[in-house]
Structure 1
Amino acid sequence: MIRILLAEDDSVMREYLTRALERSGYAVTAVDRGTAALPLIEAEHFDLLLTDIVMPEMDGIELAQKVADIAPTTRVMFITGFAAVTLRAGQAMPQARVLSKPFHLRDLVMEVDRLFESETASGGL
């Protein structure tokens, strides 16, 4: 099963995203800030870091850069409601996908599905 670490400081958004991804067959561990995600990345394997960019304590870009050092095979997808930070995220992590808020939950699930399509089709996971 594909494991997702979700870092989202908005509790309502975190709950909606977790529910939508779990209903689609993903295992989701959700935290409310980047600093809470780091110990999990160090201790466990995650296939995807799904992170908001603008969060207190540590933003999603800094979190993604640390995850790239700790767990380089973990893919990254950013979610943001701030258009200005989208460009910064693309420059800092060019291989990461960025999904801008507002988005429909169906769109999020489709993007995550696309990330893992080739592995699941070929039995790579």
Structure 2
Amino acid sequence: MARILLAEDDESMRRFLSKALENAGHEVVSFGKGDEAHGRLKQDIFDILLTDIVMPEMDGIELARLAAELDPTLKIMFITGFAAVALNPEVAAPRDAKVLSKPFHLRDLVAEVDRLMAAA
């Protein structure tokens, strides 16, 4: 079981992903804004940060960078429908981060989470 912090600004997608991951046996804490998720990362320990790249205010790349500074062992996975457009070359994503492009099947998400945990 993984303890996952989910940052996704689309509420229906956030609920959908949370439910799927919880049904697979994982603990999920979710937020709709990157800055809120960052605040929780300062207070708590997670195994995986699962974040959308494109979000208002603080995007997923910035959230992941700050999260990696707080906990270098945190595993990071991006979910996005805009990977090619969203990756700002001036803001480097943490090394070894996984990218799962939308649309994806929930079994693919769960399999990637399981792979990240197995690699620990």
Deviation at residue 58 of structure 1 after TM alignment: 0.4
- For 2:103 and 2:110, locate their aligned partners in 1 and report how far apart those are by CA, in whole Å: 14
TM-score where L is the length of structure 1: 0.88
Any idea what SS the aligned residue of 2:79 has? strand
Structure-2 residue corresponding to 1:106: 107
Match of 2:78 in 1: 78
Return the alpha-carbon distance in structure 2 between the equivalents of residues 75 and 83 of structure 1. Answer: 18
Q: Which residue of 1 aligns with 2:19?
A: 19
The structure with the largest helix share of the pair is: 1
- Equivalent position SS for 1:92: coil
Give the alignment's TM-score, normalised by structure 2. Answer: 0.91
Q: Which residue of 1 aligns with 2:44?
A: 44
Amino acid at match of 2:110: V
* Contact map agreement 2:100 2:109 (CA 8 A) in 1: yes
Taking structure 1 as reference, are residues 87 and 55 closer, same or farther at Cα in structure 2, changes over 3 Å only? closer
Task: Tell me if structure 2 keeps the 8 A contact 1:79–1:99.
Answer: yes
CA contact (8 A) 2:53 2:83 kept: no
Moved over 6 A (4+): none
Look up the equivalent residue of 1:99 and give its one-letter code: L
CA distance in 1: counterparts of 2:86 and 2:118, whole angstroms = 24
Write the distance in 2 (CA, Å) between the matches of 1:114 and 1:10: 25
CA spacing shift, 1:58–1:69, aligned 2, 3 Å: same
Deviation at residue 39 of structure 1 after TM alignment = 1.2
CA contact 2:52–2:78 (8 Å) conserved in 1 = yes
Higher alpha-carbon deviation: 63-72 or 78-87: 78-87
Structure 2 regions of 5+ residues with no counterpart?
none
